[in-house]
């Protein structure tokens, strides 16, 4: 399976799990819950564990030498932080052990038509972790028009992002098949597309992969894996 880009829809448990970023971003998440998240990731072989920055050192220790990646969010969930803060947050997350960064772009600047500011925001984060971590740019599709989604994807790719991502999961809506298709058609076959938000069952996950998603962000990874196990 590719880290980014297109892939045919998988049908076995191991390959399905390799698509999933096992996610816990609730503000009330405890260390005990994060350790359990990592245990589940090891059990099922998920692609990564995605948590808030304060939990990155713990996750990096729990996943050491497993091949499962440690993912931190940056500028989350609003994207309204100053660019310097996003860049510093990303750099610190990598120093703490993050392999992947999911950053929220400056949504207001995008809607204002300030593309240069959006680009500089993305560029600063990518430069802060260059060569050390993948960067996924969250465009928060539910707040954007179709034209704005296309613009956001093009700006992210133009600055060297590894992935574009549909949603934070904290907005007005999550991933849709239509958005994933639009994003895939915009970025082409070699950039990752991460579908995130509201993906709670196997059918929805497979629809997203069929539409062009190469990574799935979900807090329901275990439920999805068990659903597939029960189909054997």
pLDDT tens-digit map of 99-114: 999 999 999 999 999 9
Q: Is 165 a catalytic residue?
A: yes
So what's the pLDDT on residue 101? 99
So what's the pLDDT on residue 2? 44
Ranking 8-17, 61-70, 212-221 by mean pLDDT, the lowest is 8-17
Catalytic residue among 21, 102, 106, 162: 102
Q: Is 123 a catalytic residue?
A: no
Q: Is 121 a catalytic residue?
A: no
Q: State the average pLDDT over residues 141-158.
A: 98
Q: Is 165's pLDDT higher than 90?
A: yes
118: CB partners within 8 A, 6+ apart = 105, 106, 109, 110, 152, 155
Q: Is 182's pLDDT higher than 70?
A: yes
State the Rg of the chain over Cα.
16
Dist. CA 52–CA 63, nearest whole Å: 16
So what's the pLDDT on residue 102? 98
So what's the pLDDT on residue 172? 85
Beta carbons of 175 and 195 less than 8 angstroms apart:
yes
pTM value > 0.85: yes
Q: State the average pLDDT over residues 157-185.
A: 96
So what's the pLDDT on residue 3? 42
Angle of CA points 41, 8, 194, to nearest 5°: 50
Confidence of residue 147 (pLDDT cuts 50, 70, 90): very high
So what's the pLDDT on residue 1? 41
Q: Is 94's pLDDT higher than 70?
A: yes
Residues in a beta bridge with 196: 217
Sign of CA dihedral 178, 149, 157, 84: negative
Mean pLDDT of the chain: 95
Catalytic residue among 99, 106, 165, 179: 165
Catalytic residue among 86, 136, 149, 194: 194
């Amino acid at each position: 399976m590719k880290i980014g880009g297109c892939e045919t829809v998988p049908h076995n448990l191991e390959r399905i799990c390799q698509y999933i970023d096992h996610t816990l971003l609730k503000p009330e998440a405890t260390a005990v819950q994060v350790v359990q998240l990592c245990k589940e990731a090891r059990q099922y072989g998920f692609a990564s564990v995605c948590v808030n920055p304060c939990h990155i050192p713990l996750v990096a220790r729990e996943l050491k030498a497993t091949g499962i990646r440690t993912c931190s969010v940056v500028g989350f969930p609003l994207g309204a932080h100053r660019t310097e803060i996003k860049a510093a947050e990303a750099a610190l997350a990598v120093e703490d052990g993050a392999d992947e960064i999911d950053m929220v772009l400056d949504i207001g600047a995008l809607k204002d038509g300030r593309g240069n500011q959006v680009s500089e925001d993305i560029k600063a984060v990518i430069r802060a972790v260059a060569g050390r971590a993948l960067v996924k740019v969250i465009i928060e599709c539910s707040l954007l028009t179709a034209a704005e989604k296309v613009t956001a994807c093009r700006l992210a790719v133009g600055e060297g992002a590894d992935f574009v991502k549909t949603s934070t999961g904290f907005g007005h809506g999550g991933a849709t098949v239509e958005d994933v298709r639009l994003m895939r058609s915009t970025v082409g076959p070699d950039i990752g597309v991460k579908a995130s938000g509201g993906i709670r069952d196997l059918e929805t996950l497979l629809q997203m992969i069929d539409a062009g998603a190469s990574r799935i962000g979900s807090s329901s990874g275990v439920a999805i894996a068990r659903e597939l196990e029960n189909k054997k």
